[in-house]
Amino acid sequence: RAETRSRRCSFGIACLAQLPTLERSNLLKFVGDMCESKISSHRLLGVELIGEMLCQGWFWKDHENLSNTMETPFNSSFGEKASDADGGDVDVSSATATPSQSAPRTPSATLLTALQGRLTDKSPTVRTRAALSLSEVARKASLAQEEGRNLDGTVIASTPTNLTEANIPSRALTVALCKIGTSLVDALRHRASTDDRASVRKSAVVAWFQMLHLAHRENKEDFKVSG
């Protein structure tokens, strides 16, 4: 099942890359709705898709325009409540479930908030997948920055005059992660230390480590260590 889901996710990402910006923004909304579905398999696919989308160059090329025009399906309580197939509410810790309410509601912040919210999902499989997606996003952002590459592995040109931090996808992703870094590190620490499933704890530890590695490289002292 995981292999089938991964193939479907890859196919969806490949299709998204060929669509116009407006159509992609509409599908981003749809993926957001999937993360709030009553059916756990829908939420599972949603978090896997979000993890892949955040590492796509086209997402960040669209990002500036989407930040100004995209209407997201997420309200201020996104990630705080969802239901699975048996009708049970998602287990939530209010101290760690959502990022700072002052975080800008850009498309990247919205999608990262979605992943963070699924860390408290009632389904352990969804919690594990959310932590794995966050780990992979943070790892790819750090690796691309360290190697001076884009998220797709191509070398970042150093000479263009229009090259800014905002239009380098790997840098933009790093900035987005740092903006919710404090709450995200706290949420991952909480999962790593208290979750009743070993698979979730293991995945959360890996994602936590990746975020601390990113914090060290970015000199983000405010979320290197959690209380």
pLDDT digits (tens, 9 = 90+) for 37-70: 999 999 999 999 999 989 888 888 776 555 554 4
In one letter, which amino acid is 29? K
Residue 18 predicted with pLDDT over 80:
yes
Confidence at 171, pLDDT banded by 50, 70, 90 = confident
Classify each residue of 175-208 as buried b or exposed e, where b means 16 or more C-beta atoms within 10 Å of its C-beta.
ebbbbbbbbbbbbbbbbbeebeeeebbebbbbbb
Quick one: CA dihedral 126, 128, 130, 133, positive or negative?
negative
Residue 173 predicted with pLDDT over 70:
yes
Residue 125 predicted with pLDDT over 50:
yes
The predicted structure's pLDDT at residue 225: 52
